[in-house]
Amino acid sequence: MKLSQLQAAFQAHILRGDLGIAEQIEGDVQVAKLLRLGVYTTAYTARLVEVLGVSFPAVQVALGTRRFSEQIGAFVRRHPSRVRSARAYGEALPQWLASALDGPRGRGIADLARFEWAVAGAFDAADQVALAPRSLAGVPPAQWPNLRFAFSPTLRRLSIGSNAVAWWRFAGAEQPRPCRWRETLPQQWLVWRQALAVRYRRLSRIETQALDAALAGGSFGQLCGQIDTPTAAQAAAQAATLLHGWFSEGLIVGAAAPE
Amino acid sequence: MIQGFGLGLRPQHYTEVLQSRPDLDWLEIISENYLVAGGKPRYFLDRIRERYPLVMHGVSLSIGSTAPLDFVYLSELKALAQRVRPGWISDHLCWTGVDGLNLHDLMPLPYTVEALRHVASRIGQIQDFLQQRIVIENVSSYITYRSSEMTEWEFIAALTAEADCDVLLDVNNVYVSSINHGFDALQFLDSMPASRVRQIHLAGHSHQGAVLIDTHDTAVAPPVWALYRHAVQRLGAVPTMIERDGNIPALPQLMAEVQRAREAAASCAPQAQR
């Protein structure tokens, strides 16, 4: 058997249980050969479950260790890894959990997984120097309406329709265990990294609209237009307050007013 | 030039390594941990590099795979090497997947002439790309292929000669495979091309029935220390490190193992270290 065929057969055994590779293994006793091959098949699933346990520690707490191993083991068996780094393997897990689990608890755990994936993504996203609030001090008033902003590559926006973040805080020993899984109206969340610390907070309706407009490339003027206040001056003042907060939190890495 | 005794750098120890400056001659990093865009891994890497020489150890080259070489990975590895300026770059004599899939494991190769030529050719391409000689580690294995035409040690010796690469001798892996396959570990060590052995790994293993598993989650076992002393007697004081990947203990516990390696080497090879 050529090397390429041998590797394909071994891989097929690990991923699908195909037995063709057994003929290529030394030993007279089939059971003994399968036990030896089992070291590799067991290790494959165990390693990826372990990796996902590192990426999704709160999901592991929420499901319990045994259920996590079963549930995530099923995910691993249905999703052969195509990523070079095991660290990137969990991207499809939140969606899979959403389809595999039922009820408020299931939907909440899927939300929790999305939140954890956002945290993991912010953790080692690209470094980019954040602008200080005073960066805009020299911008002439006439240019303000045209100002557009570039945001930190660590920023993640999520809409979560459950109390998943409370469970995440519980898993991190930041708050008592919630009474139960609860569905809510969609809540808007922001996850990002400031220096080395991953941060998160809930967004108000007004901030959500303004931030989403700015993230979509909207100008400061358009951002003001998203804020529903009695006067334009009040909208501008509120937008300026939000903007100052984004600068202070290290969310903005670029600002320019194109001609 | 890397000499003496090192430790595998793990995120759990970043802060302590920087604050307590443990008595280490060098540290080994897992290359893949730093092939990220930014954040803590790169922050600590840069600061630790200011204080210690580093060597890079990877798990993704898949040197023995019949899938095409991943030049995206190699480009990232090369860029990391330019940042780290490592003593050397190592990876494993194994394959990790074919057909676009990744088993995330160090899969064994058959020791055939076909595999030897294939791996030697790929090492040549990798060395040309990285513009340096690479270091290849022997892996633990749990099966033997019927098609093998030579022993593992014969394969490694032939490979280093044909590909002009160096060896990372994992003494624990030699022991684990010797028990699993019933070969003489001393013969393996005695067959290593001495001038090519650039680094030694010492690690722990565990038992799974009659099979030993290369788990790296326990202290180095007594038979592995005995083999290490034999290796030092034959190879001299090759740069040696403790490799721990699971049940990672506090840094002082690992430093005690590093000290044990120092003492074992000193008692066996009083000659100047490489």
Q: Is the pLDDT at B272 greater than 50, yes or no? A: no
Give dist(CA B18, CA B22) in Å, integer: 8
Residue of chain A minimizing CA distance to B108: A7
Residue A204: pLDDT band (50, 70, 90) is very high
d(CA A115, CA A212): 18
The Cα–Cα gap between A164 and A183 comes to 9
The yes-or-no verdict on residue B50 having pLDDT over 90 is yes
Contact residues, chain A, for B105 at CB < 8 Å:
40, 43-44, 47
- Please state, rounded to an integer, the average pLDDT across all residues of chain B: 96
pLDDT of residue B100: 97
Searching chain A, which residue's CA lies closest to the CA of residue B31? Answer: A85
Name the closest residue on chain B to residue A80, using Cα atoms: B101
- The rounded mean pLDDT for chain A is 95
- Long-range contacts for A58-61 (Cβ within 8 Å, ≥24 apart)? A58/A112, A58/A115, A58/A116, A58/A167, A58/A168, A58/A170, A58/A171, A58/A172, A59/A93, A59/A97, A59/A109, A59/A112, A59/A113, A59/A116, A61/A167, A61/A170, A61/A171
Q: What pTM value is reported for the model?
A: 0.94
Residues of B in contact with A24 (CB under 8 A): 145-147
Q: Are B188 and B235 in contact (CB under 8 A)?
A: no
Q: Which residue of B has its CA nearest to A14?
A: B103
Query: B23 vs A257, which has greater pLDDT?
Result: B23
Give helix A164-171 / helix A103-123 axis angle, nearest 10°: 60
pLDDT band at residue B210 using 50, 70 and 90 as cut-offs: confident
Q: Report CB contact under 8 Å: B37, A3.
A: no
As given in the structure block, the two tokens for residue A36 are 């030896």
Q: Please report which helix (H) or strand (E) contains residue A56, including its range.
A: none
Q: Which helix (H) or strand (E) holds B82?
A: helix B71-84
pLDDT value of residue A259: 72
For chain B, the straight-line distance linking the first and the last C-alpha, in angstroms and rounded, comes to 9
What distance in Å separates the CA atoms of residue B227 and residue B184, rounded to the nearest whole number? 11
Asked if B153 contacts B185 with a C-beta cutoff of 8 angstroms, the reply is no
State how far residue A169 is from chain B, nearest Cα, in angstroms: 21
Predicted confidence (pLDDT) per residue in B121-179, tens digit: 999 999 999 999 999 999 999 999 999 999 999 999 999 999 999 999 999 999 999 99
Instruction: Compute φ and ψ for A187, nearest 5 degrees.
Output: -110, 140
Question: Using CA atoms, how far apart are residues A115 and A119, in angstroms rounded to an integer?
Answer: 6
Least CB–CB distance from A36: residue in B70, B107, B211: B211
Burial class (CB in 10 A: 0-12, 13-18, 19+), B78: middle
**Residue A32: which pLDDT band, with cuts at 50, 70 and 90?**
confident
Res. A258: pLDDT tops 90: no
Taking the alpha carbons of B219, B222, B224, B229 in that order, is the dihedral positive or negative? positive
Give the model confidence (pLDDT) of A216-248 as tens digits. Answer: 999 999 999 988 888 989 999 999 999 999 999
Neighbours of A243 (CB within 10 A): 23
Per residue in A50-81, pLDDT tens?
999 999 999 999 999 999 999 999 999 999 99
Helix or strand holding residue B256 (H, E)? helix B251-268
User: 10 Å Cβ neighbour count for B193?
Assistant: 16
pLDDT digits (tens, 9 = 90+) for B102-125: 999 999 999 999 999 999 999 999
Number of A:B CB contacts under 8 A? 118
B40 at interface of A, judged by CB pairs closer than 8 A: yes
Above 90 in pLDDT, residue B273? no
Phi, psi of B111, deg, nearest 5: -90, 75
C-alpha–C-alpha distance, residues B239 and A6, integer Å: 35
Chain B residues in contact with A87 (beta carbon < 8 A): 32, 36
Separation between Cα atoms, residue B232 and residue B241, nearest integer Å = 13
A64, A67, A69, A72: CA torsion to nearest 10:
-110
Query: Residues 6 or more apart from B1 whose CB is under 8 A from it?
Result: B87
Neighbours of B205 (CB within 10 A): 22
Of the candidates B112, B106, B110, the residue with the CA atom closest to the CA atom of residue B136 = B106
Residues linked to residue B107 through DSSP beta bridges, in sequence order: B95
Could you tell me if A100 and A71 are in contact, meaning their C-beta atoms sit under 8 angstroms apart?
yes
Mean pLDDT to the nearest integer, B219-248: 97
pLDDT of residue B271: 52
B99: which chain A residues are within 8 Å (Cβ-Cβ)?
A: 8, 11
Helix (H, G, I), strand (E, B) or coil at B232: helix
Express as a percent the part of chain A with pLDDT over 70: 100
d(CA B93, CA B153): 12
The answer to whether the beta carbons of residues A3 and B115 sit under 8 Å apart is: yes
H runs (alpha helix) in chain A: 3-16, 30-55, 57-63, 65-78, 93-100, 103-123, 164-171, 205-215, 220-225, 232-248
Summarised one tens digit per residue, pLDDT across range A126-176 is 999 999 989 999 899 999 999 999 999 999 999 999 999 999 999 999 999
- Report the C-alpha gap between B37 and B131 in whole angstroms: 24
ipTM given for this complex:
0.95
Give how far Cα A40 sits from Cα of A4, A27, A34, B82, B140, Å: 18, 17, 10, 35, 11
Q: How confident is the model at residue B269 (pLDDT cuts 50, 70, 90)?
A: low
Instruction: Return phi, psi of residue B86, to 5°.
Output: -75, 160
